[in-house]
Structures are given as C-alpha cells and as structure tokens.
Structure 1
Amino acid sequence: MMKISEVKDVAGPSYRSGVAARLAGLSVETLRVWERRYGVCDTERSEHGQRLYSAPQVRRLGMLKQLVDNGHPIGMLAGLSSEQLEAMALGAGAAQTMQSGPIRLAVVGEGLARRIAAAGRDGLDLYVQRSCPGLEQVPRQLAGVLSDVLLIEMSEPDDQALPLLVAARDSVGVQAVVVLYRFCSSATIRSMRAQGFLVARVPAEPGELVLLCRAALAGNKLALPERPVQQVAPPRYDEAELATLTTARNGVECECPRHLAEILMMVGSFERYSAQCAARNDDDASLHRELGHAAGLARTMLEGAMARLVQAENLPVRAAADERD
C-alpha cells in the first residue's frame, strides 16, 4: 500500500504550499493540519526552506479534499494509495480513463491552445487534438473530432453565447465541456451550468487547467472549486494604527508610509462595505462577496508591504510577523 509520501515526481513541476492548497481546493491551514496530524505529504523543501509539492501530490490532495467533503474521515483516507482514492472518488471506469494517458482536447481559443503547447512539463497531461479561434468556427473546423474535453475560452461570455456553446458541444464528440471566462454575470454562469458545462475563471497555472479537465470528466465539481478561492487573512492593522502611520515621521525621503496607510484604510473600508451589501441584497450577494474577497486579497498584499516598511523604518506601530512555511 502506497502513501502519498511515496508518490513523488522530482522531475515534475513543484508548487509552494499556498499554490498547492489552492489547486487542491484546500485552505493552507487545513493542509498544515493534515500534514501535522496524518502525515499526508512528505514534501521537498526549497533552498529557502519552503515546502514544495509535486503535481502528483497536488492531484492526490484534491482527491482527499473531495472524499472528505463526501463524508470520509481523513484519518482513514491518508493511508490509501492514489489508485484506491481515484476508485473511491470517481468510480473504477473514470479512474481508468484518468490513468490511460493525456486528456485529449478540442480547444476553442488560439491563445489558449498556444499556452497549453508552451506549458512544457506542466502541460504533459493535456493533448490538443485540434483548435479553432472561436465558437463560430467549431462546426466547420472541429466537427467529428473525438476528444475527451471541449475546452473553450471566452473572456466575457453572455447569454447570446449560450446557443453557440450548445451548438459547439453538439457538433464535437466529447465527454465534457469546460468553459473558461474572465468576467461573466452570475445569471449567464447559471445558464451555462444548466447545460452541464463546467464553468470556471481562466486559471493562472497549467496545473489548475489539468485539474479542471479531470473534474469535468469525473462529472464532480468537488474535485476542484469552480473558482479556486484564496483564503483572506484578517486585518493586521486597525484604523487607529493606520491613522498613526499617516502622520508618523520616518527616514524615507517620501510620503510612501502615509500614502500606503491611506490606501489600506480605503481598501479595508470597501471590503467591509461589500460585506454589508452582500448581507442586505440577496440579488447581488454573490457579486458583492466577490468584490469583498478581491478587496481582502488586495488588502493582504498591501499589508505585507506595510509590514516590511514598518520594520525597515521602525515606524510606531506593531509589525505583525509574516507567516512562513
């Protein structure tokens, strides 16, 4: 019986803990608890001491997350082999499909096809059989292609694209359809899902794209969240501390501390305001949660910069310790 600690691909891509957790649909805190209590990962470390996860380890973490969400205890799952986890998560037939070779793709979007081709080792699990620039060309250029997944990239899909998406699916022999977008209304996303499409934002990394395609083939969106969600840390600085920074004397020959403190107050205020909007308006709740989440991520990044500035210039507020792997 093989544990995850024995499944390593030192020649493959390596992901830091935050990226690995996001790809697997986990919070970093949950990943650390699983490592400490159940030994789910025996990771390599970078020269700076940060944990590094291989692509097989990330895939395994994603399956563990799926099965835990379905009610299986992590203590029982941690000792199972990857083959056993795949059989539990997807069924024997789906697991066999996943292991038989690269996922065959019919791709709509020349830029997407080029990114997959340029992904190197990260894209080895994907094979583009044929591609075309847009949905209008699918019946003519992709008709009859027998692929596993029809992968479509549309920056801003709307309701008018839905008939073209359905026609594209019907003209290509595929098991699943994945639609990638950058901005899209909640109503349009619901309409696409109603057609059985897996809908997600354009992923930042090839490894994410592989997991999305596998999730679509499995017919189970729990294998990867529709939009990988990065956890937002609580505020490091309160309003009083930021106000102090707007008037603090420092050794920097500019007003960056004041400007950064003012930006942080503004971003934090918008984050709280979005939470209020999400609570009082059911129709726009999803949009406002997304706005608040984006503001929270921006605040977290800016607070990291402020913490470095506070420490470097000995400014008169506490400097929260940065989390390290």
Structure 2
Amino acid sequence: MSKPTQIMNTSSPPSPSLYRIGAVSKLSGIPVPTLRIWQSRYHAFSPHTTHGQHRLYNEDDLRKAVLLKALSSQGHGISLIAGLSTAQLQQLQQTGLGIAATQAPPTALAAPLSSTWAVIGLQLAQRLQSAQFSAIWQGQALPIEKVWPHLDEAHADRLSPAPDVLLVSLNGLNEHQAQQIQALAQLHGPRQTLVLYNFGQLKAVASLRDAGYTVYQDPLNDMALADILLRTRPALQPPTWTVQNQHIPPRQFSDTVLQRVANNPNQVLCECPRHLAELLGQIARFEDYSRACLDLSAKDAELHTQLNTIAATARNMFEKALQMVATHEGISLQEDV
C-alpha cells in the first residue's frame, strides 16, 4: 500500500496523512485522469497545495473518492453528487433515495436533444409533465408521444413511427412482467428502454439488464430522475455529409499487398504510399470490427451499421487514392509480384 506523505502546504495545516493523486488512484480504484476531471470540472475534492505546486489529498478526499465511485456506478450523475460532503454521500448511499431534499434548489439542466418518448405508468407521465419537473428541463416538457396506464394496455396498438425511448414504471417487477416489457420493446421498436420499479425480483431485474435495458429502482427525486433521462440516447442523426446510396465494392487489397507497399524501399522522398497503405489497413480492420461488434439492442445495431457503412466508404476512397499514387510512382498493387 502506498505510504502517506507528511508535508506542509501553502494554505492550511495539513491532515496527518496526505496522498499524491497516484496513491489515491491505487487505493480507490479510480483512474488518475478520472480523478483529475472530477477535481477540475466538478471541484469534488479539496487538495492541499505544496510549495512545489503539488496537490495532496487527505483521508476525507480518499473516502469521498470511494463513495463517488460507488454512487456513480449505481446511476448517480457525478455532476449532481460531486459537490456533496462525505457525510451527505454516506447518507445517500445508505438511503438510496436520491439527493437529500435539504439541499439547495438545483439549477436547471440542459434540455435533451429532440426525441420522442412513450410512457407506461400514468403517475410517472403526470410527474414528467408537471411544472416542477419541467423547470429542471429549462421549462420544456418531456416530449411524450403516448401514455399507457398499465403494461396490458400497451399491447393494444403498435406505435408508428417507433419512439426513441420507452419508459416503464412499475410498483413490482417479476419475471412475467420482465417478459412483457421485452415483448413490448420488440412490438414498438424503441431505441432505448428504461424501467423504473419499486420492488422487484433479482432474476427479473437481471434479465432486463442482460437484454440491454436500463433499470433503476425507485423512489428517485426529480434531479436524480432528470439525470437518468438526460443520459438516454436520442435517435441517431444522419451525418452532415451524405454517403451515396449505392453498393460499396469489397476490399481490393489484402494485408500482404498493403504491407509490401508500406515497406517499399524505393520510397525515399515521398512517403505517401506508405501512409496510405497503413491507413487503409487500419480502416479495413475497423470495418471488419464494426461488422462483427456485439449488438445488445436495436440502437446498437443501428449505430454499428452506420459505422460500418462509413468505414467501408472511407476504405473505398483511400483505395482509389492508393491506386493513383501507385500508378504515379510505378508501384505494383498485384497480389503476386
């Protein structure tokens, strides 16, 4: 274990034990870059500064880092909890009820990108449309397209077009209801499904999470709920440039050809062939990777399809560039030379 540093600082008397950021990282299991972001962006800690401008963290900072890691893994937004004291974080961890109501009124959160929502649960829908909740979204109401009071009613009609998010609120969650939710997601085709429940069976919760759905336990206060909703992904937007809707030719050059071009000893003044060959190899490998990447949900499949199309288009363009350079430089691109 890293030994604490005994050192004076420029501001106030130090704690008996002070740690460098690397030691805090090892003891808390949080990467150093993450700790730095939490400090610089959210002012999560109060490090002491030495005469040499080194930041040293005390025992309370270390405890706070551990608590922030645990709470963020439970779904709490770091921007909402970083300013809380260690005692408040411990209370939040123990109660699981969200940020204490005694805190100062929260500032409004940035409104999410345009998206459409379908909600199962009348009480939740009313809450999301309330003036109190809308104030957190800078006065904008959540764009709810359809509301069903219960799961059974949601089977009656299929939404068209499909909503971006299906939000389900249940008091109790069992395996049968988990199967119903999965069937509804297949019926309506949302890009993301969020499930909120008060009491539930562990097996039911696990089955939904394994299927790629986001699951949280209620009750949640408005700020905690808004933070969860903000982290949902809206519909994928088309790129600002367009990909021609035509067949993209398969790969032209094998790794063997590209490696031979990259290692061509005649490239003395111009290294364009080598750079193009190396780029082509990387793009081709990413094209293969995006095609085989794991799809946990419909939104994942849509994303990977777009990435694969873009990669294949880029690969085809760079192949044409390599052909131009090879012709100019007199380099053979034949498989057998």
TM-score class, shorter: 0.3 to 0.5
- Structure (1/2) with the larger helix percentage: 1
Q: TM-score, normalised by structure 1?
A: 0.38
Q: TM-score, normalised by structure 2?
A: 0.37
Which one has more relative contact order, counting CA pairs under 8 Å at least 6 apart? 1
